[in-house]
Structure 1
Amino acid sequence: MLSLLLLKLSAFVLWTSLLTVLLLVLQRRSAPLLQWPTLYWWLLLLASVPLWPQWQWPVAILLPQTFWLDATQQMGQLTATAQHPALVTWQPMELLYQALLAVLVLGAIWQLWRLVRQYLRLRTLYQQSQPVAPTALFTVEATAFEQQIPSLDPRLEQMQIRQHNLALSPFIFGGRQAVLMLPAYYWQFNNQQRALLLAHELQHWQRRDPWQLLGWRMVVAVCWFNPALRYVERSFGQAMELTVDRQVLAVQPEQAQLYGLTLISSLKLCQQQAQPGLASFIQASGDEAGYRQRLAALFQTSGFDNRLRVWLPTLLLSLALGLNIGCSALQGQLGPSGEWQLPVAQAKVNSGYGTVSPFRQNRPHQGIDFDGHSGDPVFASADGVVLIADNHSLHPRFGNIVLLDHGQGYQTLYAHLDSFSVQSGTRVNAGQQIGAVGASGVATGPHLHFELLHQGQQLDPTPLLQWDR
């Protein structure tokens, strides 16, 4: 299970990296498409496909119904074979998997703790800040009187407004009630610039961007081992800011130049007293490169076709489901790697797979009968775990049987044994003796009845067996 989990996580990292490369290509060819923040949530969904469960029901034992006589009392023991004492042995690879998983979990805990510490710093900043009345957000200019004061947005009445002394861009945080945090340098701007800054933050609040950004921070913290996600997160933050810029200027396009000057001034003031810990927690893109991209976008048309908002999510969701279902189907059809060993030393076949005989009421044979003498050794065809080793769990016609599980839904059945030398729960290696040829159950003479099953369905084992011995 641990090896499968680590394999899924590795596929998650590789698949996310591939999608990130695709983003880099799209940035050169279709930049307007990447300025849609919702796109990155859909890409995150697509990137998580390797972590999705496969479309199958994992069970301890899957056998055709005709095999069973009365297995009700056996199921509790058989489905708990993973807890069998014989399996609790020191395995170097298993220990390595556990160590790697421990590193991943501890790394995620550490990253989440860093987020908690940043949030606690934010709470401390909130407690040290001073409340501001909405009516004090604008200054009455003596030269222009009341005409210079912009109208107060009613949304400001629905939140707390506070002032702090750190060099941070204005931001909104909070749970049930939003809090608008304004830096001291806010009062250095004129009324028009203040109105633009407030409109920007109110647009973030209306779009629930602070909570989306926190969600991305948590995803990146948990998946700290996947560096490609950090790039996707930064791209999301940049797209979020570009979208808000466009929405602010859509109402007042004549303010584009003043809005750009305000962004530059805010960046310079923040760089004078940088607060990297808090800034990285509350701001999507506070670096100079991000500001340059935003300034360039202020004077460009978006070129974004709104029809993409309908069919692109549908396309990405269909692709994610198709990949998951396709991988599930591929996994179900893939056979075991390599060739399996013959279960007996002499590969003389009495009855092949699919053979019709009156002895079986003309029903196709579901396995291979190997000729032999009583007491001839029977070997495990591949590495596996013993699920059953008795003469009563399956139908009496099989006699003494051994059922091995090889993983990925594959099992092999060895029937009509004279005796068996393994017990339920033990691990066996390919070529290890597990019993002896016999004629127990309903048999015309000593032989081994061998079956290969996948997800409870009998398969022809002939193509898998290594016949040249």
Structure 2
Amino acid sequence: MSLPASSFWIVHVFGCLVAGALAWGLGVGLQRWLRISHASRNYWLGLWLLAAAPAVIAVALDLWAPAVVPLPAYLPLPLAIDDGVDAGIAARTSALSLPQPALLLAALYLAGVGVALLAQLRGALAVRRVLRASTPVGRTRWPGQACAEEVRRLMNAGIGVRLTAQTVSPFAVSWPQPVIVLPATALERFSDRQLHMVIRHEAAHLLNHDPQRAACMRLAGAVLWFDPFVRLLAARVQMAAELRCDAWALQVDTAAGRDLASAYVDTLRMDHTGGHATMAFAGRRIDDHLLRLRHMLGGDPDRALPLRLRVLFTAMAIAVGGLLASMQAALADPRVPVASSSVGTALHVAVAEPEPLFSSPVPSARVSSHFQDTGGGRKRAHNGMDLAARRGTDVLAPADGIVVAATTQYPGGPRYGTVVVLDHGHGWQTLYAHLDSFDVTPGQQVKAGERIAGIGTTGETTGPHVHVELLRHGQRIDPEPRLR
């Protein structure tokens, strides 16, 4: 298992912010220019999708694309351990290295998601506590006939109405069953006409499936917690839903706008349970309150989008969203995992990963030097095994792999001579040094048994052989049990 590289996190966060800013800026600008109604929920929901969907699609493409490639993500080049470098010092340096930026970015993102989900859970539990403490309403407690008839119709439709002693604004929930919860003070403070409008408003939320929609948007908002534009557009979607429910409540009594506005102002004085998105009066910005009051008192002065504009905007949103998603997926490269570190190694070890089925890279060769050998005038323990054979003898890929290096100037290892490095997936790599030549190029996929190079004498060597190293998550291990 490997974590995406730093570029993956940076590109996708930046891409999310660009898509969100574009959706917000264009959406607000077009809404003002064309005088699109604030109650056009589908318009604002489309903009919210334009802000959120490209990022989700791009991440899915990046994470899915490596899965269809025969080999998983490849690791960075192994550090060259040349003569004169103390292996113990190198090992201690690796063990003390700090977590890489990719790991820190992943931890920061997951921490943000965790905090956002905990906040959502806290709000849901608060609403649940209010719901569990609520009680059914007796038929004789309603202030008038209009409320009693509305509640009776709702109960026949399977929607319950309950009272709570807590000073909360009215709200509706759809799970585990559809219920409208009213504060007990509403029966004392509201007239029959006012309470009738409030109940119809909450019933409209349930009929429009707003609680389910709001829950899905909150989960998406937790995943995209770092994007303020997604939150702004989600608030606009919720405001559109509130305005639509206000209009639906007033359909049966168009002259009750002043009564609904008065009830709305009165509920603003009540305490909230935490701003749950299903509440009818969850708005917090003064502009939102004024907008709702204007719609209640004067109706909706703006227009809904004509069909031809809806089709045009939908096509444009799909095209722009697809372009943004493809650009993000192309720029972000998730296939460079976290390099070896004390934290990274622990992460790898904690996950059971398959081991490639290796074969010998030079079946006809003899082992002239073993792993950890210290003889022959060596300054330190040998970090691989040497396979001796005639110059030009084929060196074969011991397993399927991706060529990550094929060079005559290996970084940090001039004594290695000509080098080929293969990545076999799941943290396994093999390195071949002192080659005479190579037949592969970086990025090329090779199959087990395919010739990759020929044995040579390049670099610092006493005779033709290939120096073979086997690494697992950046740590050198004895290659002989697996490659002979």
- Using the size of structure 1 for normalisation, the TM-score is 0.61
Deviations 1:323-382 (A, max 9, x none): 4346667899xxxxxxxxxxxxxxxxxxxxxxxxxxxxxxxxxxxxxxxxxxxxxxxxxx
Correspondence for 1:206: 207
Change (3 A) 1:113 1:92: same
Match of 1:44 among 48, 53, 56: 48
Correspondence for 1:139: 143
Write out aligned runs for 1:392-411 (5 A): 392-393=396-397, 404-405=403-404
Correspondence for 2:468: none
| Counterpart code for 2:291 | Q
Within 1, Cα distance between the matches of 2:439 and 2:238? Answer: 63
Shift of 1:207: 0.4
Correspondence for 1:289: 287
Match of 1:120 among 99, 121, 125: 125
Shift of 1:210: 1.7
Within 2, Cα distance between the matches of 1:200 and 1:255? Answer: 13
Is 1:108 the equivalent of 2:121? Answer: no
Shift of 1:168: 2.0
Q: Aligned residues, how many? A: 347
Correspondence for 1:231: 232
Aligned Cα root-mean-square deviation (Å): 4.3
| Counterpart code for 2:108 | V
Q: Is the 8 A contact 2:55 2:328 kept in 1?
A: no
Larger RCO of the pair (alpha carbons < 8 Å, separation 6+): 2
My pick for the range that moved more, 290-299 or 46-55, is: 46-55
Q: Is the 8 A contact 2:404 2:423 kept in 1?
A: no
Correspondence for 1:154: 153
Shift of 1:128: 1.9
Deviations 1:51-96 (A, max 9, x none): 424489845999xxxxxxxxxxxx7xx7585499879967979612
Match of 2:32 among 28, 33, 51: 28
Within 2, Cα distance between the matches of 1:294 and 1:128? Answer: 30
State the SS of the aligned residue for 2:36.
Answer: helix
Change (3 A) 1:33 1:156: same
Match of 1:3 among 3, 6, 9: 6
Identity across aligned pairs (percent)? 20
Shift of 1:243: 1.7
Change (3 A) 1:275 1:56: closer
Change (3 A) 1:80 1:19: closer
Q: Is the 8 A contact 2:124 2:276 kept in 1?
A: no
Write out aligned runs for 1:273-312 (5 A): 274-275=271-272, 277-278=274-275, 282=279, 284-298=282-296, 299=298, 300-307=300-307, 308-312=309-313
Within 1, Cα distance between the matches of 2:132 and 2:68? Answer: 60
| Counterpart code for 1:296 | R
Deviations 1:159-181 (A, max 9, x none): 22211122222111141411210
Within 1, Cα distance between the matches of 2:422 and 2:246? Answer: 67
Correspondence for 2:467: none
Within 2, Cα distance between the matches of 1:233 and 1:325? Answer: 24
Shift of 1:425: 4.3
Shift of 1:101: 1.4
| Counterpart code for 2:113 | A
Within 2, Cα distance between the matches of 1:59 and 1:149? Answer: 61
Q: Is the 8 A contact 1:173 1:179 kept in 2?
A: yes
State the SS of the aligned residue for 2:177.
Answer: coil
Write out aligned runs for 1:317-336 (5 A): 317-325=318-326
Within 2, Cα distance between the matches of 1:100 and 1:390? Answer: 43
Within 1, Cα distance between the matches of 2:285 and 2:197? Answer: 20
Write out aligned runs for 1:169-188 (5 A): 169-187=169-187, 188=189
Change (3 A) 1:328 1:82: closer
Give the unaligned 5+ runs of structure 2. 81-90, 334-392, 409-415, 425-430, 447-484
Give the unaligned 5+ runs of structure 1. 63-74, 141-145, 333-388, 395-401, 407-411, 427-432, 441-447, 457-469
Correspondence for 1:260: 261
Q: Is the 8 A contact 2:136 2:162 kept in 1?
A: yes
Change (3 A) 1:55 1:170: closer
State the SS of the aligned residue for 1:168.
Answer: coil
Q: Is the 8 A contact 1:130 1:163 kept in 2?
A: yes
Within 1, Cα distance between the matches of 2:77 and 2:432? Answer: 18
| Counterpart code for 2:287 | A
My pick for the range that moved more, 250-259 or 94-103, is: 250-259
Q: Is the 8 A contact 2:7 2:332 kept in 1?
A: no
State the SS of the aligned residue for 2:182.
Answer: strand
Shift of 1:37: 2.0
Deviations 1:30-61 (A, max 9, x none): 44254322333322332231342448984599
Q: Is the 8 A contact 2:403 2:420 kept in 1?
A: no
Within 2, Cα distance between the matches of 1:248 and 1:147? Answer: 13
Change (3 A) 1:93 1:58: farther
State the SS of the aligned residue for 1:421.
Answer: strand
Q: Is the 8 A contact 2:163 2:183 kept in 1?
A: yes
Shift of 1:108: 1.2
Write out aligned runs for 1:329-344 (5 A): none
Shift of 1:413: 8.5
Correspondence for 1:344: none
Within 2, Cα distance between the matches of 1:148 and 1:222? Answer: 41
